[in-house]
Structures are given as structure tokens and as C-alpha cells.
Structure 1
Amino acid sequence: MGIKSKFKAFFLLDEEDYQLVEETETDDVEKEKNPKSSKKNIVSLQSVQKSSKVILSEPRVFAEAQEIADQLKNRRAVIVNLQRIQHDQAKRVIDFLSGTVYAIGGEIQQLGQKIVLCTPDNVEVDGSITQFIKEDDIDNTGWS
């Protein structure tokens, strides 16, 4: 009788039980070597908490557009009120923010007269706001 058989006889292990123990040990070793496979369904709660913030911004000069873009880069939605900025500056702000939103894979939508919503890719906007603009109001909006 060899040492292996004496060991099995001492612990009352059959050949099948011994192979099962070996397979379990190799599976544990593989899981330790590849931790990514066991963490596929883990979601970071920090990203969920950061996405729940909405920033309200009312720029008065074009230079403030960069601050709005920084908020978008930090994955925060921004509502921009362009009613207190000159018409040509407002167009430049919209152009700048459109490029920023495109670069981060987000979305930009008009909410009202000179009010837009800029969202990063982690914020989903559902629905739309329709505007009924009379022909005499088109000249007063400053968007045409």
C-alpha cells in the first residue's frame, strides 16, 4: 500500500471524491487568477450618484461657455438660459456647446425661447417640448 492509498484510506476518500476535491481546488485557483470574470455584474454607485445633478447656467459672455462645457465633461446635465446674452454671443455659445455635446456623445435640446438643455451620455431625456410660435414672434425670438 502506497502513501497515497494510505492517505485516502485514512480520510475515507474514494477515487471520485479525491478528483472532486482536486477540481474544486483548480476552479478556485482559476477564479483568483482571473478576478474580472467574477465581477462582471458589479456597478459603481459613484457614477449613479454623480449623474443625478443638474446645473443651471445663465451666461452673460461667451467666455462662460467653457465652464458649462466643464460641467458636461464631469457628466452633469446643464440647463442654459441665454436670455441675458447678446444674440451673436448666444449663437457662439450654442455652437461651442453643440461641439462639446457631440464630443462627449451627449444631447442638446431646446426647452424654450433661448433656453437649452445639454446632457452628457449618462443622462437620458425622454419626451420633447413643442413650441407654438406665431409668425410675429419669430422676429422677437432672435433665433432666426
Structure 2
Amino acid sequence: MSKLVDKLLGVIGVEVEEEEVMEERDVLPAERDGFIRNKKSNLVGLPTQRPTTVMLVKAKSFDEAESIARQIKERRSLIVNLEEADKEEAQRMVDFLSGTVFALDGTVQKVAFGTFLFATSNVDVVGRILEDEKETPISKLMPWTKK
């Protein structure tokens, strides 16, 4: 019967506002782990440097210099022991390997008698073993050069 009254009032020009009835629903809270599982992650791996490797080498002849230089070219630092090498060959090896390290912006440091550290540019060498190394004559750094 309310429909008939509404139509009659509508013809007369009287509008009746209707109340909107909203249904109440029980809303359960969504369980969350703190992560959105359905979305892809936008993580991108950052490039990292390989771990620095220091190789220990005991060289006896100049024939080994080329393989040692290849290791330096592959960004590996070396500690080279030349104690058992002939004096002239040891001098040639130090010169050759020093040139290789220099070309790669590395450093050379004497560690002990006849033993040298050839460090590539990705290795920081801190400290000095020899005192006043800058003032040390070459004959003390490389005793086989003495005549």
C-alpha cells in the first residue's frame, strides 16, 4: 500500500525522501604477514666485486714471469718469493712484473729479502715493512743487484 501512497504524492508534486537502509556485514580483518605475496618484488641485484685474492708464488726462473704476469692482469695480487732465483733473473722478473703492475695502476712493495708484494689497483696496501723505504738505496731493496 505504500506504493499507492507514493504514486499519489508523486502526482501531486510532493516528494518524499527515502531513507537508505544499509546492510551491516561482519568484516573480518585480513590476515597479513607484512608482505604482499601477489606482487613481484622490484629488487635488483647490485654488482659486487669479486673477493680479492692474494697468491703466493715461489719463482726460480724468468720463464715463470709470463704466467705470474697473467695472474696480475686478472686482478690478483701476488707475493713473489725470488730467493732461489738467479740474481740476474730475479732482477729481470722484478722489472717485468713491476711494469705489469705499473700498467694496471698497482703498487710494488718489498716484504722481505727477495720477496715482493705486487698489488693491483683494487688492493690498498697500508704500512711499510722497511723503515724509510723512500730513502733506501735500490741495492738494499734488491741485494742481488750489488756487484
Shorter-chain TM range is 0.5 to 0.7
C-alpha deviations, 1:24-65, integer Å up to 9, x for none? xxxxxxxxxxxxxxx9xx7522x232x2x1101111110101
Cα distance change on mapping 1:61 and 1:130 into 2, 3 Å: same
Q: If you compute each CA radius of gyration, which structure gives the higher value, 1 or 2?
A: 2
Larger helix fraction of residues? 1
Cα distance change on mapping 1:43 and 1:110 into 2, 3 Å: farther
Corresponding pairs, count: 96
Q: What TM-score does the superposition give when structure 2 sets the normalisation length?
A: 0.59
1:44 counterpart (44, 47, 51): 47
Q: What TM-score does the superposition give when structure 1 sets the normalisation length?
A: 0.60
Question: In structure 2, what is the equivalent of residue 64 of structure 1?
Answer: 64
Q: CA deviation at 1:85?
A: 0.5
Question: In structure 1, what is the equivalent of residue 99 of structure 2?
Answer: 99
How many angstroms apart in 2 are the aligned matches of 1:121 and 1:89? Answer: 26
How many angstroms apart in 2 are the aligned matches of 1:131 and 1:60? Answer: 28
Q: CA deviation at 1:142?
A: 2.2
How many angstroms apart in 2 are the aligned matches of 1:58 and 1:92? Answer: 15
**Contiguous gaps of at least 5 residues in structure 1:** 1-38, 133-137
Q: Is the 8 A contact 2:69 2:100 kept in 1?
A: yes
Report sequence identity in percent.
35
Question: Is residue 125 of structure 1 aligned with residue 128 of structure 2?
Answer: no
How many angstroms apart in 1 are the aligned matches of 2:69 and 2:103? Answer: 11
Q: Give the alignment of 1:20-31 within 5 angstroms.
A: none
**Contiguous gaps of at least 5 residues in structure 2:** 1-43, 133-139
Q: CA deviation at 1:67?
A: 1.0
Question: In structure 2, what is the equivalent of residue 142 of structure 1?
Answer: 144
How many angstroms apart in 2 are the aligned matches of 1:62 and 1:131? Answer: 29
Q: What letter matches 1:89 in structure 2?
A: E
Runs of 4+ in 1 over 3 A off after TM superposition: none
